[in-house]
Amino acid sequence: MSAPRTPAAAQTPLAPLPRREEVAEAARGQGLGLLAALPYHYPRALVRAHGFHAMEVWAPPSTPADSGARHFQAYACPIVVKGAAFLLDGGFGRVDAVLVPHGCDALQGLGSVLRDFVDGRPPVLTLYPPRGRRAVDARYLRAEFARLGDDLGALSGRRPNADDWAAAFAAEDAADAALARLYAHRGRLAISDREFYEVVRAREYLLPDQFIEAVAALPPGTPRRGGVGIVLSGIVADPLELLDVLHEAGAHVAADDLGSGSRRLLPAPASTAAPADPIGRCVEAFLAGPPDPTRGDPIAARAEHLLALVRTSGSRGVLVLDPTFCEPEQFYLPGLRAALGAEDIPLLFVEHESSGTLDARLRGRVEAFVETLTTQGVAS
Amino acid sequence: MSRRVPLPFPRVHPALPDHVDVPGLDDVLGALPRSASEVVPKARSALAYDVVGRSVLRVQRLRDERRMATAAPRPDSPMNPPLRTLAGVKELMSGHYLKGRYAPGARPVAWVTSGAPIEALVALGFFLVYPENHAALCGSRRMSGELCQAAEEEGYGKDLCSYVRTDLGSIATGRTPVGTLPPPDLLVCCTNICQTVKYWYEILAAHFDVPLVTIDTPFLYDEVAPYQVAYVRDQIRTELVPAAEKTAGRRLRPRALHDTLVEAKQACELWCAVLDRSRHHPAPLTAFDGFLLMGPVVNMRGRRETNDYYRRVLSELDGRVAAGTGAIRDERHRVLWDNLPVWYRLSALSRRLAALGINVVASNYTYAWGELAPLIDPDDPWESMAMTYLHPILNRSTGHKLAAMREMIDGFGVDGVILHSDRSCKPYSLGQIDQRDLIVDRVGVPALLLEADHNDPRVWSEEQNVGRIEAFAEMMAAAG
């Protein structure tokens, strides 16, 4: 039996977010170059300080995969195949450079193939984040960020001075703070889960000011959601239709552990003053992020983090939503399932093809999962 | 599989002094028991392996060699008689796993990835287990399918690396072709072959509740940068060595490290020399022989018996070259193999190709354990180990791999390339579509993308792949 809930679709829609074309135009108006950034960890302030605005590419659902499939086998993840297709089918022509962070072996392949085998494209930059958080990793990351800054600076002609860094941190810190506020206040906003994640994901392409404005425009009030709470984990909340299915089945997302979501919530800086060591600050923030499979964190650290999310949000289960063939995510599943199971917290893993819609089988599994959680809640 | 809760975050190791050179009595007497608790395991190990096991395996090897030498050639086989020295691989590898069986308590055990910097571990007396090699062994013994299935029943997805699934299945079921694997005291994973190993070893660390040292190697999209070398060097010095010393209960002696590096460098050089013999026409060995012969250089690099063995192999190959004896009877086409082998179809595939007059004369996979020999400098251990372990083909760009393949096409006189599109090895496989197209278009050599998986036989489609191989042979014949 489902818990009472407010219909998601019955409310006034939110003001539309700026379209990507408008954002690109606005960024160029500010003298910024456009950087197509693949998922999902990179130092935004460093990118901005060197004269670029990052607009992210996450397997655009409306993009046909054909162009990407001409370079990658069928067992490559849709973020790689569709990301490549998007860039090859016109995306390259709209940006000044591409950044491929090394989040996994598949993104490694994407970065390497674009650099080595695709002609007539803008520069493709790479970033290799360390798979650890040791002192030795921090020293390396400092040098890697400095190298990325040099590469960006060589393209934009900008060598940031102290004022440039201060302005970049001020802008990106404010947007990060807005994202953190959005998460902190999610239970006090009169929006649905779908609307919530539309705004969260707008951080992937909006200019910092635009994002802050979008967050500020959200109406306070009782959330338009109900039913049992779940933690949504995985790489990306895609398709957003899943959130409607959850709502209709009688559940809501009480917290998330998403690559496109809270895994990118970094601790707020201790001081808002301009840092004397800007790259050092980027490193510090980067390494302070929550446990994350793409960083190779230990299973126990991830399990503890998920358990903490479940407890603090009052959730009854964890739904892991991933694109197909996502190795970093899949390796953790048995360990996470065992750790959560020991606390009687069920975990459901579902894969999707990034086609923009949810197939009936997947919908059925999600509905059954919610029903189980609801029944458990009644029984207990 | 039982799981223990692992330590929550990166482990802190004691800082390493700048100069690691504290020879002590225990170094001199390292082979002897250092405590009462070691007496029985060491004595048992010495008796079982050094006295009995080695002798038995030696007799078996001699018997195998004699049988191979006296066996009448099979008229229906497209292959010439196998290398007699292949019997030595069995002796060495069986001895290795036998030694491992008696290692617990007698010597520290480390499980390591195939690209891990092992020289310090060897110098400290560790017994090394290579789970990848073990998984390959399971594959060639046709056990990997059921072991993959067992891992899947534990919740590991079928899209994950089949080496991982095989080994996790082996741990879950206790089934292994080597009798028993000694549990690790230390885990060492190096990301220079893939990121998969990081996840794999995190699972092992949680399961066995032992320390894990990660040597993270930035992927080289371009030429290496000094800070990348420094990163790997510092991890070896300040993470790996202290953890290994702590586990071994002794200090690393620079002389021992130097000597190990000398042996390791020589092993890599000898291994390259073995593979290079296939530049001759007809080639005296196939890449499939190489897949079998590589066991010692992977598992026992840095040990004298490994080098002695490869000298014997070279001697036999030189005899074949002098006699003009090829590995297959009718070498009409010479082919380069890209990627891991298909372990569970090794001999069947070898025979099928040979029947079509195809000798797979080279593989960029087997060369991975030899081509870096020039980078190893025993007089500059830390820097040279960092350089060596940053440069495996799998840690370099797709463009570099293509360039390496082009060199091999020229150097080995190859007239076709088979690119094994290995479903569960993405770092080796992504990029192959472009590589194939460029080999065909710019080099003018036929190339086949063969869909399979290195260790999961359920992915293999016999009818489809045989048909494609036959069509490929026709293309090579047409290309002249």
pLDDT in tens, B433-454: 999 999 999 999 999 999 999 9
DSSP reduced 3-state for A220? strand
Given an 8 Å threshold on Cβ–Cβ distance, is A331 in contact with B3?
no
Q: What is the pTM of this model?
A: 0.92
Given an 8 Å threshold on Cβ–Cβ distance, is B6 in contact with A113?
no
Task: Please tell me which of the candidates A116, A297, A298 has its beta carbon nearest to residue B397.
Answer: A116
Given an 8 Å threshold on Cβ–Cβ distance, is A112 in contact with B399?
yes
Interface of A with B in 73-92 (CB under 8 A): 73, 75-76, 80
Given an 8 Å threshold on Cβ–Cβ distance, is A72 in contact with B9?
no
Average pLDDT over residues B392-411: 97
Helix-helix angle A135-156:A278-287, to 10 degrees? 130
Interface of B with A in 148-167 (CB under 8 A): 154-157, 159-161, 164
Share of chain B above pLDDT 70, in %: 92
Alpha-carbon dihedral B86, B89, B91, B93, rounded to 10 degrees: -160
The DSSP H or E segment spanning B187 is strand B186-190
The amino acid at residue B365 is: Y
Does the CB of B433 have a partner CB in chain A at under 8 Å? yes
Cα separation, A203 vs A262, whole angstroms: 12
> Which residue of B4, B221, B456 is the best one to mutate when testing the A interface, meaning the one whose CB has the most A CBs within 10 A?
B221
Cα separation, B82 vs B68, whole angstroms: 8
Does the CB of A121 have a partner CB in chain B at under 8 Å? no
Q: Chain A residue with minimal CA distance to B423?
A: A75
Residue B33 pLDDT? 57
Cα separation, B263 vs B311, whole angstroms: 13
Does the CB of B173 have a partner CB in chain A at under 8 Å? no
Residues with Cβ within 8 Å of residue B45, at least 6 apart in sequence: B99, B102, B103, B106, B107
Cα separation, A53 vs A73, whole angstroms: 31
DSSP codes, A280-326: HHHHHHHHTSPP-GGGT--HHHHHHHHHHHHHHHT-SEEEEEEETT-
Cα separation, A248 vs A2, whole angstroms: 9
DSSP reduced 3-state for B35? coil
Does the CB of A147 have a partner CB in chain B at under 8 Å? yes
| B269, B297 Cβ separation under 8 angstroms | no
Our CA-based measurement puts residue B437 at a distance from the nearest CA of chain A, in whole angstroms, of: 10
Q: Chain A residue with minimal CA distance to B189?
A: A131
Residue B14 pLDDT? 31
Cα separation, A194 vs B428, whole angstroms: 38
Interface of A with B in 289-318 (CB under 8 A): 293, 296-301, 304
Inter-chain CB pairs, A–B, below 8 Å? 170
Does the CB of B269 have a partner CB in chain A at under 8 Å? no
Interface of B with A in 394-413 (CB under 8 A): 397-399, 402
Residue B376 pLDDT? 96
Given an 8 Å threshold on Cβ–Cβ distance, is B434 in contact with A117?
yes
pLDDT in tens, chain A (380 residues): 333 444 444 455 678 999 999 999 999 999 999 999 999 999 999 999 999 999 999 988 888 899 999 999 999 999 999 999 999 999 999 999 999 999 999 999 999 999 999 999 999 999 999 999 999 999 999 999 999 999 999 999 999 999 999 999 999 999 999 999 999 999 999 999 999 999 999 999 999 999 999 999 999 998 888 899 999 999 998 888 999 999 999 999 999 999 999 999 988 887 777 788 999 999 999 999 999 999 999 999 999 999 999 999 999 999 999 999 999 999 999 999 999 999 999 999 999 887 777 888 899 999 999 999 998 766 55
Average pLDDT over residues B253-259: 96
Looking at the predicted structure, is the pLDDT value of residue B69 above 90?
no
- Find, among B379, B378, B334, the residue nearest to B357 by Cα: B334
Residue B480 pLDDT? 74
Task: Please tell me which of the candidates B6, B10, B230 has its beta carbon nearest to residue A134.
Answer: B10
Looking at beta carbons, which residues of chain B come within 8 Å of A322? none
Looking at beta carbons, which residues of chain B come within 8 Å of A332? 199
Does the CB of B423 have a partner CB in chain A at under 8 Å? yes
Given an 8 Å threshold on Cβ–Cβ distance, is A298 in contact with B225?
no
| A260, A379 Cβ separation under 8 angstroms | no
Residue A274 pLDDT? 74
Residue B67 pLDDT? 87
> Which residue of B214, B216, B228, B421 is the best one to mutate when testing the A interface, meaning the one whose CB has the most A CBs within 10 A?
B216
Share of chain B above pLDDT 90, in %: 81
> Going along B257-381, which residue ranges are E strands?
333-338, 358-363
- Find, among B476, B82, B469, B61, the residue nearest to B285 by Cα: B82
Interface of B with A in 203-222 (CB under 8 A): 203, 205-206, 214, 216, 218-219, 221
B212-215 β-sheet, strand order? B127-129, B109-112, B186-190, B212-215
Does the CB of B9 have a partner CB in chain A at under 8 Å? yes
Our CA-based measurement puts residue B156 at a distance from the nearest CA of chain A, in whole angstroms, of: 6
Looking at beta carbons, which residues of chain B come within 8 Å of A331? 156, 160, 164, 196, 199-200, 202-203
CA end-to-end span of chain B, whole Å?
55
Classify A59 in phi/psi space as left (phi over 0), alpha (psi -120 to 50) or beta. Answer: left
Question: Within 10 A of B43 (CB to CB), how many other CB atoms are there?
Answer: 13
pLDDT in tens, B135-148: 999 999 999 999 99
Does the CB of A119 have a partner CB in chain B at under 8 Å? no
Greatest C-alpha distance within chain A: 64
pLDDT in tens, B102-121: 999 999 999 999 999 999 99
Residue A378 pLDDT? 61
Task: Please tell me which of the candidates B164, B216, B227 has its beta carbon nearest to residue A143.
Answer: B227
Does the CB of B59 have a partner CB in chain A at under 8 Å? no
Q: Is the dihedral of CA B51, B309, B306, B292 positive or negative?
A: negative
Our CA-based measurement puts residue A57 at a distance from the nearest CA of chain B, in whole angstroms, of: 19
pLDDT in tens, B215-245: 999 999 999 999 999 999 999 999 999 999 9
Task: Please tell me which of the candidates A108, A113, A132 has its beta carbon nearest to residue B10.
Answer: A132
Looking at the predicted structure, is the pLDDT value of residue B425 above 60?
yes
> Which residue of A41, A126, A131, A142 is the best one to mutate when testing the B interface, meaning the one whose CB has the most B CBs within 10 A?
A131
Q: Which ipTM value was assigned to this complex?
A: 0.94
Quick one: B378 exposed, middle or buried, by C-beta within 10 A (0-12, 13-18, 19+)?
middle
Q: Report the residue count for chain B.
A: 480
Does the CB of B375 have a partner CB in chain A at under 8 Å? no
Chain centre to alpha carbon of residue B19: 32
Alpha-carbon dihedral B71, B77, B81, B85, rounded to 10 degrees: -110
